[in-house]
Chain A
Amino acid sequence: MSVKKIDSPEFQDAIKSGVSVVDFNATWCGPCKMLAPVLESLSEEMAGKAAFYAMDVDDNPDIAQQFGIASIPYVAVFKDGQKVDEQVGFVPQPQLKAFVERNL
């Protein structure tokens, strides 16, 4: 598994079943660049448990607006289409793993 880049038309379909982790980011955001490889590595580690997606907030302002995102990176966990948790800012891999796991 790896992190799949998606845009708003695919969003609802992507999160509708199971546990999905969505990383909202932007190309100009330093902490997002640092978080990307951490998420990539975590998606391998948690393959089969959660699906990982990445979304550019500049390309998808509608979704960013919908979740009231004021700061990025913003990582949200969805369970069967419902947002169950969020995490703002960079976090090291062990902490990010714990964050996803407690929402499984």
Chain B
Amino acid sequence: MGKRYDVAIIGTGPAGVSAAITATVRNKSVLLLGSASVSDKVSKAHMIQNYPGLPDIPGQELAQHFLDHLKKMEIPITDRKVTMIYAMGDYFSLQIDQEFVEASAVILAIGVSFGKPFPGEDENLGRGVSYCATCDAALYRGKEAVVVGYAPKEEADVRFLAEMAQKVTYIPVYKKEDAAAMAPELFPDRPNVEVKQVKPLGIEKRDGRMVLATDGGEISADGIFLLRESVSPGKLVPGLELDGNHVKVDRKMATNLPGLFAAGDITGTPYQYVKSAGEGNVAALSAVSWIDSLKK
């Protein structure tokens, strides 16, 4: 992935799919990132009654139409997770796992599935709270860390962190089984990992230590790692201006960062498929204008 794409589109709901189609029609190179089976929120809809031309269509069928349309236009979906988007000035750098990909413009169409932050989370971000174990692990050499993982793939990060940290307490929020019994099985070569099945409630800094309040009592450590499936847009794109829980955009779907556009539920209500598709179209056309202005 050494080349620089014209536009990277993040999200495969109606906004992302629509943006990818329009950008491709306008002859731009597109990197479409998201779920290969398009957004769950489309396929799980029972019935959509107001999508023009497709009366009373079940979500699953609409999702199939989206996939067919992308296939017909030869737009592949890259099913990988973007962890960070950096505004570098006249281009963007997207961190995908440990790899960096460049794009001249970015369209953010990630929906609104992210949860609320824990009390105390935002205030302590970067001051004891981290979202990236592989990024900050080396700062925890000989120290204690708590990791809250939202998917089994985070177990690899726990193993990595446990190589450096003196002690790691792992809270897998996705597991239902008895967690205490899981540690030897999950981390056979990491005796310094303790697994706890508790529900995190809030974060506090006390006497220079980070304290995680849970329904099973407090856990204190030097740092707390929160490894979520999706992060809020402000954390995904440092410097992005928000309007409450949504990304602030103008009528051209432009954000405060030149070259970065947003479309769909992420820009605010109404949460409607057809509104998202329309915004995806506007965002793509705005991105095309931006890309053309760069080439002048």
Is A30 an interface residue when CB atoms closer than 8 A count as contact? yes
Which of A68, A72, A92 sits near B87, CB closer than 8 Å? Answer: A92
Interface residues in B110-141 (C-beta closer than 8 Å to A): 125-128, 130, 135-136, 138-139
Asked if A70 contacts B138 (CB within 8 A), the reply is no
Is A58 an interface residue when CB atoms closer than 8 A count as contact? yes
Q: Given A31-B84, A89-B126, A92-B257: A70 and B136 within 8 A (CB)?
A: yes
Question: For the complex, what is the distance from the CA of A64 to the CA of B222, rounded to whole Å?
Answer: 14
Asked if A71 contacts B127 (CB within 8 A), the reply is yes
Is A38 an interface residue when CB atoms closer than 8 A count as contact? yes
15 further A-B contacts with Cβ under 8 Å, apart from A88-B126, A92-B89, are A29-B135, A30-B84, A30-B135, A57-B139, A70-B139, A70-B223, A71-B125, A71-B130, A71-B136, A88-B127, A90-B86, A90-B239, A91-B238, A92-B88, A92-B239
In this complex, how many residues of chain A approach chain B with their Cβ under 8 Å: the count is: 26
Is A47 an interface residue when CB atoms closer than 8 A count as contact? no
Is B208 an interface residue when CB atoms closer than 8 A count as contact? yes
Residues of A within 8 A of B (CB): 26, 28-31, 34, 37-38, 41, 57-58, 64, 68-72, 74, 88-95
Asked if B126 contacts A34 (CB within 8 A), the reply is no
Interface of B (DSSP majority class): mixed
Question: For the complex, what is the distance from the CA of A88 to the CA of B129, rounded to whole Å?
Answer: 11
Residues of A within 8 A of B127 (CB): 70-71, 88
Residues of A within 8 A of B257 (CB): 92
Residues of A within 8 A of B136 (CB): 70-72
**Residue of B127, B138, B139 contacting most chain A CB atoms (<10 Å):** B139
Asked if A92 contacts B238 (CB within 8 A), the reply is yes
Asked if A70 contacts B238 (CB within 8 A), the reply is no
Is B93 an interface residue when CB atoms closer than 8 A count as contact? yes
Q: Can you sample 8 A-B contacts with CB below 8 Å?
A: A58-B138, A71-B126, A72-B135, A88-B125, A90-B86, A90-B238, A91-B239, A95-B239
Residues of A within 8 A of B88 (CB): 34, 37-38, 92
Question: For the complex, what is the distance from the CA of A22 to the CA of B127, rounded to whole Å?
Answer: 17
Interface residues in B91-119 (C-beta closer than 8 Å to A): 93, 95, 98, 100
Q: How far is the CB of A21 from chain B (nearest CB, A)?
A: 17
Q: Given A68-B208, A70-B128: A31 and B135 within 8 A (CB)?
A: yes
Asked if B138 contacts A26 (CB within 8 A), the reply is yes
Q: How far is the CB of B284 from chain A (nearest CB, A)?
A: 23
Q: How far is the CB of A41 from chain B (nearest CB, A)?
A: 7
Q: How far is the CB of A29 from chain B (nearest CB, A)?
A: 6
Asked if B139 contacts A71 (CB within 8 A), the reply is yes
Question: For the complex, what is the distance from the CA of A57 to the CA of B84, rounded to whole Å?
Answer: 22
Q: Which residue of A lies closest to B87 (CB)?
A: A92
Interface residues in B53-104 (C-beta closer than 8 Å to A): 84, 86-89, 93, 95, 98, 100
Asked if B89 contacts A93 (CB within 8 A), the reply is yes
Residues of B within 8 A of A30 (CB): 84, 95, 98, 100, 135
Q: Given A71-B126, A95-B239: A90 and B139 within 8 A (CB)?
A: no
